[in-house]
Amino acid sequence: MSAPQRLIRYAVPPTLCRPVIEMHRNMRQSIRYLGAALARVYLLPLYALSGLMPRSPDLWVFGSWGGQRYADNAAAFFEHCERQNDGKRSHVWISHRLDIARELRALGHRAYWWWSPAGAWCCLRASLHLFDCFPKDTNFWLSRGARLVNLWSGVPLKRFERDIDQPGNRYYRLFHGRPWERLLLGLLMPWHVQRPDLVIASSPETRGITARAFDIPQDRVAVTGLPRNDRLFAEDSDEQLPASFSEALAAGRRIVLYLPTFRDSGKPAVSDEWLRLGPRLQAMNASLFIKLHPVDDTPPPRLGEQIHDLPRDLDVYRLLPKVDLLISDYSSIIWDFLLLDRPLLLYVPDKAEFIATSRGLNFDPDELAPGPVCHDFSSLEAALADSLEHSDRFAGRRREVRSRLHSHVDASSCERVLASIRELLASAERKPGCFEQLAYRLRYNSVPRLFVNALKRVGIVILPYYLFKRRISGLARQIDLNGCEFRELSADDMPRLAALPMVHADEATFRARLAAGQRCFGLLDGERVLGFCWMDPQRCSYPGEGFVLQAGEAYAFDVFTVPARRGASLAPLLNACFTERLRAEGVHTVYGVVDSMNEPSLRFTEKIGSRRQRKNLYLKLPGLPGRSFLLRQIESADGERRDLAA
């Protein structure tokens, strides 16, 4: 605590000093945030240009907690990579704080400030950016074109990212708010919108939660365990501990650690009633240590006999192996501490308020608790004494919850993460560079089409399109697949489809299509998907059409071939295989919809024998239902009447 704050805190009653400190802090934060917001808008062109830089496969950069700390999973994995390095690969720590970079360099590591010439160059050249929060942990503005590996912050008790369901939360507004809110917040916090190439999890259950929150396929979430937890199984180290902590250990006192999480509402997690524990702790030969969350900026707690405050930026995983009892609330550290099989308490006096004003929960603490759940301070006092006296009382429950949330109970999480990264680099499609993406968009989209796509991102949909109709006639023919395979794809194949470069739908969308009765067919070379197409046997389900199909009819849509193989006659081969499959199933008429601005697709559609039926304009504005308008009837639909959707 700074000297001025200390004087204010103890010179006047807390009821008067706290509002003054809070107002002063909020004013400074608002000024800083406004300046940072303006700078971010100007940095967006730099982010786009960073995609032009060739990336070195032997250079990886690491960062943690917005660049403000050297801790957690990123630091643990960085140290593991340094120990295992054979000299062929360079690992660089990027920090937003000069003091952290200097300290790491003094220890023999490569570490730079994020905007220093060396730090910026490493971020531009690195093929891999590894972090435990978001790409801004390193340098988001210089990360385009690199692969992003999110080591995340633990087992998700609290909901996060796209799972947040509080309308007042800024992250809810970023992902689910009004179009102007999504646009504005997306410009101010673009690192939240960027999806990582790989995320880690501790179990299959948390894998599903993580994939949903980041809106990525589950095959991009690796169940490896958390690198920071490897430290829990390490031998005693000679790392320097806080003086008060070392003194308590030397005196043979039992260590109780309280680690509350932060509140989005700004409410302090520690009240003065904790001072009541002093005499009880003295009687039990125990010391209580309180460490607030690193992003918690509430005033420090008041201390008392056998009650100590720890620095907020301290890497607490250095302390956990020496802790006898853990107390926490909604923090993921509860589940990490299970690996030590020691007693813990959940103190949740504000559960309803926390859910209403901060975050919803993925797990109910009362149902999943591996120890006593305390809803008021009196029950906490009683449970504290009982847990220190009978440490094995909840041992069976701890093991039950641990088996659910941790697939691995060992010190090999870092090795599994490294293996997953190697698999990602070896098997994934090469990430298209900036020029490739630009060339792809210009080839298949006119300038008006790009403008229409931009409007679509803010909720304004303008879709001029042609309805095509194709007759399947003639005799069946044999097709030379050149060693490829054409087959119907199942739900198990959807993660691979969603992971293909420049595919604009996610795994959840693909699975929803299958559940609705739509079918997908793919062209494969071994395990690699070269192209796919979708078919609806029930209705033409394009927005603005929506008519029911008759027997022998089908609606074909979302035809895709991988960009790297364009020009290799993949599209004609995929169409020929698809046509023969439809013929074998008795389909004689195929409908399709093509964007009227997509000239290459229009030419190909007419080349395979499809004929234009009519031109429509589908229009949808934010908050209003979509409407389709007939622009031109091109030719008769053989007497068949198709009603346009309202």
- Residues 35-93 have pLDDT tens digits of 767 777 788 889 989 988 999 999 999 999 999 999 889 999 999 999 988 778 999 99
Shared-domain flag, residues 295 and 356: yes
| The pairing of beta strand 461-471 with beta strand 126-131 | unpaired
Domain final position from 362, 394, 426? 394
Residue 211 resides in a domain: no
Residue 16 resides in a domain: yes
> Which has the minimum average pLDDT: 152-156, 224-228, 393-397, 476-480?
476-480
Domain final position from 394, 409, 433? 394
| Confidence at 432, pLDDT banded by 50, 70, 90 | low
Domain final position from 350, 366, 394? 394
Shared-domain flag, residues 307 and 454: no
> Which helix (H) or strand (E) element contains residue 230?
none
Left if phi > 0, otherwise alpha if psi is -120 to 50, otherwise beta: which for 474? left
Rounded to an integer, the average pLDDT of 293-317 is 77
Shared-domain flag, residues 464 and 563: yes
**Segments in 51-159 forming alpha helices (H):** 72-84, 98-106, 117-125
Residue 64 resides in a domain: no
The residue written with tokens 């830089």 in the block is 53
Shared-domain flag, residues 472 and 542: yes
Closest to 218 (Cα-Cα) out of 19, 438, 437, 506: 506
Q: Where are the beta strands (DSSP E) in 271-369?
A: 286-290, 307-309, 325-328, 344-347
Residue 523 resides in a domain: yes
pLDDT on residue 4: 36
Rounded to an integer, the average pLDDT of 497-506 is 78
* Cα(99)–Cα(121) distance, integer angstroms: 20
pLDDT on residue 323: 92
Residue 542 resides in a domain: yes
Shared-domain flag, residues 388 and 467: no
Q: Tell how many helices (H) and how many strands (E) occur in the chain.
A: 23, 21
419 pLDDT above the threshold of 90: yes
| Confidence at 639, pLDDT banded by 50, 70, 90 | very low
Shared-domain flag, residues 294 and 378: yes
Cβ count near 312 (within 10 Å) = 15
pLDDT on residue 361: 83
User: Is the Cβ–Cβ distance between 293 and 331 less than 8 Å?
Assistant: yes
Could you tell me which residue, 262 or 147, shows the higher pLDDT? 147
* Cα(148)–Cα(126) distance, integer angstroms: 10
Closest to 93 (Cα-Cα) out of 73, 125, 72, 123: 123
Shared-domain flag, residues 270 and 383: yes
Rounded to an integer, the average pLDDT of 426-450 is 63
Closest to 334 (Cα-Cα) out of 300, 287, 373, 276: 373
640 pLDDT above the threshold of 80: no
* Cα(316)–Cα(321) distance, integer angstroms: 10
pLDDT on residue 25: 59
* Cα(331)–Cα(153) distance, integer angstroms: 10
| Confidence at 300, pLDDT banded by 50, 70, 90 | low
Percent of the chain with pLDDT over 90: 37
CATH number for the domain harbouring residue 386: 3.40.50.12580
Shared-domain flag, residues 550 and 450: yes
> Which helix (H) or strand (E) element contains residue 419?
helix 413-427
- Tokens found for residue 18: 């706290």
CATH number for the domain harbouring residue 517: 3.40.630.30
441 pLDDT above the threshold of 80: no
> Looking at the DSSP assignment, which residues form a beta bridge with residue 247?
none
pLDDT on residue 464: 87
Residue 646 resides in a domain: no
The residue written with tokens 């420090």 in the block is 300
Q: Which amino acid would we find at residue 606? A: E
**Segments in 144-241 forming alpha helices (H):** 170-176, 179-188, 190-193, 204-214
> Which helix (H) or strand (E) element contains residue 46?
helix 14-50
Q: What separation in angstroms does the CA of 191 have from each of 195, 500, 586?
A: 8, 21, 49
Residue 207 resides in a domain: no
**What is the residue range of 16's domain?**
1-49
Among 193-197, 308-312, 436-440, 526-530, the range with the most confident prediction by mean pLDDT is 193-197
Rounded to an integer, the average pLDDT of 515-541 is 91
Shared-domain flag, residues 481 and 332: no
Rounded to an integer, the average pLDDT of 171-193 is 88
Could you tell me which residue, 498 or 417, shows the higher pLDDT? 417
The whole-chain average pLDDT of the chain stands at 83
Residue 289 resides in a domain: yes
Cβ count near 28 (within 10 Å) = 10
pLDDT on residue 158: 83
pLDDT on residue 9: 35
Shared-domain flag, residues 362 and 474: no
Shared-domain flag, residues 499 and 584: yes
* Torsion angle defined by CA atoms of residues 370, 239, 154 and 329, in that order, rounded to the nearest 10 degrees: 50
> Total domain count for the chain?
3
